[in-house]
Amino acid sequence: MLVLTRKPGEKILIGDDIVITVLDARGDSIRIGVDAPRGIKIQRSEVVQAVADANVAATTAGADDEQRLVQSLGKLTAPSE
């Protein structure tokens, strides 16, 4: 990992077409701007991890999930009187 110290207004160049600009630094956080081509995905890692965790959780069935599904489907297909 490359670690750099930058002041607000200073930039970091990545390749020929990505520019990271330090916009502001306050306390324990900074604001950055990213200028990149439209085809480049820019995502926050914590959001990507949360989505991945939610996808894994959605594929894991609980012990009573199958029984509830069968009961629900039975209600949908029960003949009407």
Kindly report, residue by residue over 1-55, the tens digit of the pLDDT.
999 999 999 999 999 999 999 999 999 999 999 999 999 999 999 999 999 999 9
Does the global pTM surpass 0.75?
A: no
CA angle 9, 11, 30 (to 5 degrees): 60
How many whole angstroms separate alpha carbon 52 and alpha carbon 58?
A: 10
Structure tokens at 61: 């069935």
CA neighbor of 19 nearest in space, from 5, 9, 33, 7: 33
Which two tokens mark 17? 């077409």
